[in-house]
A and B are shown apart, each in its own frame.
Chain A
Amino acid sequence: MRKPREYDDIPGTYVFDYERSHRGYHLNMFGMSLLKPENREAFLADEEAYLKKFPMTEEQRQSVLNRDWLGMIKLGGNIYYTSKIGATLGHSFQYIAGEMCGMSQEDYADMMIKGGRNPEGNRSVSEKY
């Protein structure tokens, strides 16, 4: 059993600890493979066939096919690896960020220009500050 961690209390945050890293290993290594142009081409040509080369869970495969960017993170994806999937599909980082927090890319970009998400109320689930 995993011990609860102090950082579990940070809202909307999935700290990439050893448990998440282990769960997401093959999903992330799939993302890593997309650094090679020939792999990007193979993935774009037939996503399902390419995904089958990696022994990830069906849920993880579906999260990629469904472009479920937050789902990938919850299933052990790490943002530096899932963003490589995004880049291969032609998405900007801010598009993926917006998707993860349920905002359009435009609204997300606008929030950033106005100074970003305020930490007030976003630090702790239990203590609400």
Chain B
Amino acid sequence: MAKITAGVATSHVPAIGAALDLGKSGEPYWKPIFDGYDKSKKWMAEAKPDVVILVYNDHGTAFALDVVPTFALGVTDIYPPADEGWGPRPVPNVHGHVELSRHLAESLILDEFDLAIINEMAVDHGLTVPLSLMCGQPEAWPFKVIPLAVNVVQYPPPTGRRCFKLGQAIRKAVESFDEELNVVVMGTGGMSHQLHGERAGMINKEWDNQFLDDLSGDVQRLVQLDHVEYMRETGAEGIEMVMWLIMRGALNENVKEVYRFYHVPGSNTAIGNIILENS
């Protein structure tokens, strides 16, 4: 049977992808960030997942404002990197796990999570930067990826509680898939950042670190956080952190934090990374 063994959360700042692609990862500004992910890369190489369910948001790339799906699941076999206005990132195509993604779509919809379904999509930095941070610059990504896109651009995004419950349903669906697969769930985005308005640049280290603590310590507190709290305390765009709760919902009630990294700034954003294993 397929099994979710661990969860990873990470920021997905586009400038990190650009720094890596342009060979700037050794520069003083970026080096602490890439160094901070060394242990995560090592962990990922050892964890050897067969499939990663990658929760992320599109930033007006594959989706625009004409149709705004709250949750959309990729069910195809290949997702090329998107041109976000300066050419596609020079990273490998992302390969899906068609059988598991179809099974997830069917199970989740019958479990009353009314997902939109994606049969063709280019993936933007929201998905490819987390892969780069966790895997470096391989010729091919070392696992299959199932993209789960969450709307966090058009207010309101789904609530943190709904995200957490979707994570629980993902776990149930994965565990009913009849093939031996090691599955890791990744939640991406965050941490604190505001990209627009006169308050741009706000960072809340204390709040972010409490959030990291509570992913293993008091997840019920996190599930209850409302959207205004995220926006007020962590910046309007910090609301992306609801996506981390999908990852958390897919794990056991008790988890072991095996690694954490937090750094300010990555461009306009507080960079956070955490690895949680089921205990």
Contact = CB atoms under 8 A, between A and B. Distances in A.
Contact of A93 (B195, B197, B228): B195
Given A73-B196, A115-B203, A16 B267 contact: no
A100 B198 contact: yes
A70 B197 contact: yes
Contacts of A115: 203, 205, 264-265
A17 B270 contact: no
A80 B59 contact: yes
Interface string A20-34: 010001001101101
A10 interface: yes
Interface residues of A, number: 50
A35 B196 contact: no
Given A34-B85, A78-B60, A93-B15, A100 B236 contact: no
Contacts of B156: 17
Contact of B268 (A40, A81, A112): A112
Interface string B224-246: 00011001110011000000000
Contacts of A101: 197-201
A123 B231 CA distance: 9
Nearest to B192: A116
A28 to B, nearest CB: 6
Secondary structure dominating the interface of B? loop
A97 B64 contact: no
Contacts of A45: none
Interface residues of B, number: 42
Contact of B264 (A84, A97, A116): A116
Secondary structure dominating the interface of A? helix
Contacts of B207: 119
A112 B232 contact: no
B84 interface: yes
B199 A7 contact: no
A111 B264 CA distance: 11
A58 B236 CA distance: 28
A97 B195 contact: yes
B204 interface: yes
Given A16-B155, A35-B84, A40-B85, A117 B199 contact: yes
Nearest to A34: B85
B180 interface: no
A40 to B, nearest CB: 7
Interface of B: 14-15, 59-61, 64-66, 83-86, 153-156, 192, 194-205, 207, 227-228, 231-233, 236-237, 264-265, 267-268, 270
Top-4 shortest CB links A-B:
A116-B203, A12-B198, A12-B199, A79-B196
27 contacts: A10-B228, A11-B198, A12-B199, A13-B199, A15-B231, A18-B154, A29-B65, A70-B197, A70-B198, A79-B195, A79-B196, A84-B60, A84-B84, A93-B268, A97-B200, A97-B201, A100-B196, A101-B201, A102-B198, A108-B200, A115-B264, A115-B265, A116-B192, A116-B202, A119-B203, A119-B207, A119-B233
Given A84-B60, A116-B265, 19 more contacts: A6-B228, A11-B199, A12-B197, A13-B194, A15-B236, A17-B155, A29-B64, A32-B60, A34-B85, A35-B84, A80-B60, A83-B195, A93-B14, A94-B268, A97-B268, A117-B200, A117-B201, A122-B202, A123-B233
